[in-house]
Each structure stands twice: as C-alpha cells, then as structure tokens.
Amino acid sequence: MVGFCFNGNCEGNMRNKALIAVLAIVAVAVLYRLFSFTPELVGFSGPTMGTTYTVKFVTNERSPSTIDIKDSVDQVLVRVNKLMSTYDPSSELSLFNKSNVGQSIDVSRDIAHVIGAALKLSELTDGAYDVTVGPLVNLWGFGPGAKEDKVPTQEEIESAQQKVGFHYLSLDGVQLEKTEDIYVDLSSIAKGFGVDQVAATLDSFGIHDYLVEVGGEIRTKGMKDDGSHWEIGIESPGGGHSVAQKIIQADNLSIATSGDYRNYFEKNGVRYSHTIDPKTGKPITHRLVSVTIIADSVMLADGLATAINVLGPKKGLEFAERNDIAAYMLVKEDFGFKEEYSKAFKSYLN
C-alpha cells in the first residue's frame, strides 16, 4: 500500500505520532503507579547534635526515594548544628559568643528566630529560663570540653552568675548585640527547632504522614500506613528507655520532654542535675523529675519543658495553668512517682 501525504508535511506528522505515542506510554506508567502503588512505613536514623535522630514516614505515589529524603534531612540537621552548637567553635553562635561587648552582629534568620523565641521565654518566666545560662552550665561540667564531676565553690558560682542575664542580650531584626560579657546557650531549644525544620522538609516533599524525633523531642503528622495513630510513650524516670509511664496518641503534635534523670553526676552521695537554676546558680533540687509539653512547635515545647523543669512542681504547674500550656509532670515521691498535669493537657490523656 502506498501512503499519501496530502499536506506535504509527512515528517511533521510522523513526529506528532511519535510524541503522542510517548505521551501515551508515560500516561499509562503514571496511571499504573497511581493505581498499583501501596503505601509503606519506612524510616531512617543517624547522629546529630550530640544525640540521635529518627524519621519515620509513609510513602506516597509522589514521594522521592528514601535516600534522597535522608540526604536532605541530614543537610538540614548539619546546618542547624553549624548555626547553634556551642561545641563547634566555628558555629555562628560560638562566633557571636566570642564577639566584643557592644558589637552588633548580623546573624542568620534562623538564629534570630530561635534567639527571639528564647528571649520571649526568658521574659515570660522572669528569668527561670535564661538563654544566657551557659556560663553556669559550663561551670558545672555540662557544657563543651572535658566533663569533670566537680562541685564548684560558691565564689565560682557567684562569679559565673555575673555573666548571666538575658536582659544583656538585644535582638533587632537580625542584629544581635550583648551589652555585657555573656554567653548564649541554645541547647535547651535548638533540638526542638531542628525537629521543626526536618518536619518542614518532609512537608516540602509532599509527605503527609510522619514522625520526626531528635533526642526525645518529637513532631508527628497524619497517621501510620495502616491507619493507626502514632503513639508516643512518656518515659518512666525509674524504668529506662523502654518503659513508658504514659502513652499518648499523637497524630498532629509537637512534643518535648525535659528531665533530670539522664544527664547528671553524683558526688559524695549527692546527685547534681544538668538543669541549672539561673537564680541560684546551682542544679535544681526539687522533686520534679520530668516535664512533657505539647505546644504549637517543638522549639516552643522544648524551651517550655526546660522552663517548667526549673520552676518546679508547684510554680511550674501554676505557670502552665496561667499561660494555658499543655504540661504533664512526674514528681518523685518516697515510693514511685506522682502524675500532675495542667487542664490543657487533659484532652491528650487516654
């Protein structure tokens, strides 16, 4: 059979037919993926910020490969650490801490955002939470450098307290300045910010169901692949990592816990917590051993958990009720632990 070309553009027609054929193949492949795809719960983990992180998410027909997602998450966490670590002498925060008094420094928007939130918490708690508590943290051996289980003298404590005071720190947009020789420590809020940043990365990939955890601070969204809820266990201070004091169904939550039962040292029969009260210059001594906070962001929950842990059981609960904060506390008694929680937290309990 002889083919005829009526418009004189046989080559163009052939190209059009080839293009249509390719598009048809692509459409079939896309439709096959859409109708044959089975969501899976996958995950990965790694080291970060002196601790570990874990990401679990449910795949969908548009999500990238797990390797690509992990690479992006690692980049996000490396960046947060490079900005806010006091253990890295070249981090943006370390460079600011080394800057001269009265020198205005332009900082990144992320640092400005976190320090701005920390300053608000410092003001809200009247200094029970103080973003400049670093000199005392370091003095007690819980900061950068070799860890030494040593109780400082009262003179050393009072000397370090002279370098603590959030009111000596001012932030104007992205310009940060100190009016006295202070040392900013974001360890009580940076992990929470890191979780929020990882969650934002997963959102950008179109992932709708996930759990992100960094050092015990957690953000969840959606549900698992089988339609069940994410479940978060609040660790029992007396039972180790695998024992849960309380289980929370957490479908869309930002949650953080602060406690004195992991990071501490003992000297002459006395236990010294890593949580320092800026007003006494010493580790906390009350019986509040664990605070769990649910808030709008993990960064905020992280900072609030530390603040209430410093305030103690009575003042901490009063602070939570006054500010409508969802707080769950474990208070040590002679035998076991007593649960206390704010009205805002009650709806999360099973």
Q: Which residues make Cβ contacts (< 8 Å) with residue 75, sequence separation at least 6?
A: none
188 in a labelled binding site: yes
Here the tokens at position 130 are: 């103080």
Quote the CA–CA distance of 230 and 122 in Å, as a whole number: 32
The CA distance from 267 to 108, in Å, is 41
Q: Could you give the C-alpha distances from 157 to 88, 141, 188, in angstroms and in order?
A: 25, 12, 21
Question: How deeply is 88 buried, as exposed, middle or buried, from its count of CB atoms within 10 A (0-12, 13-18, 19+)?
Answer: middle
Are the C-beta atoms of residues 220 and 251 closer than 8 Å to each other?
yes
275: CB partners within 8 A, 6+ apart: 258, 260, 283, 284, 306, 309, 310
Residue 136 exposure: Cα atoms within 13 Å on the Cβ side: 27
Buried-state track 244-272, b at ≥16 Cβ within 10 A, e below 16 = ebbebebeebbbbbbbbbeeebeeeeeeb
Across the chain, where does the E strand assignment appear?
41-48, 51-58, 105-106, 169-172, 175-178, 210-214, 217-221, 231-235, 244-249, 254-259, 264-267, 270-273, 276-277, 282-283, 288-295, 326-332, 337-341
- What's the Cα-to-Cα distance from 13 to each of 1, 3, 22, 26, 27, rounded to whole Å? 18, 12, 14, 20, 21
Query: Is 203 labelled as part of a ligand binding site?
Result: no
Contact present, 278 and 238 (Cβ < 8 Å) = no
- State how beta strands 288-295 and 282-283 pair: unpaired
Report which DSSP code applies to 261: S
Q: Known binding site for Mg(2+): residues?
A: 188, 302, 306
* Known binding-site positions: 188, 302, 306
